[in-house]
């Protein structure tokens, strides 16, 4: 069997399929006409809180609202 035939250029550069797919989706969303564009971008916003743990105790959590463009 041939070992891993031609890999796609993004995998050769170290990117995973999910990252590639999300980048493509973001680019498409950014090229939409106005009402659809704001709908799409607001649909993809994420809000989350991260807390780092040290010595078995959580530190103060930070709230983040990342928009899809990071």
Partner 1 sequence: MLRRALGLLPRPIAAARARSFSTDLPAAHTADATFMEAWNKVMPNMDPPKTPLSFMHPRPPTPSSIPPKLTVNFVLPYASELSTKEVDMVIVTATTGQMGFLPGHVATIAELKPGVLSVHEGSETTKYFVSSGFVFIHANSFADIIAVEAVPLDRIDANLVQKGLADFTQKLSSATTELEKAEAQIGIDVHSALNSALTG
Positions touching partner 1 (CB under 8 A) are 8-10, 12-15, 20-25, 27-34, 36-37, 40, 43
What's the token pair of residue 34? 């106005």
Report the distance separating Cα 44 and Cα 57, nearest Å.
32
> Could you identify the residue written with the tokens 């009402």?
35
Q: Give SS3 for 48.
A: strand
Q: By C-beta, is 30 or 62 nearer to partner 1?
A: 30
Q: By C-beta, is 28 or 48 nearer to partner 1?
A: 28
Q: By C-beta, is 9 or 53 nearer to partner 1?
A: 9
């Amino acid at each position: 069997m041939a070992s891993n035939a031609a890999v796609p250029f993004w995998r050769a550069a170290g990117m995973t399929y999910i990252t590639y797919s999300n980048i493509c989706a973001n680019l498409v969303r950014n090229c939409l006409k106005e009402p659809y564009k704001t709908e799409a971008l607001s649909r993809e916003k994420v809000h989350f809180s991260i807390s780092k743990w040290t010595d078995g105790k959580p530190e103060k959590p930070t709230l983040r609202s990342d928009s899809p463009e990071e």
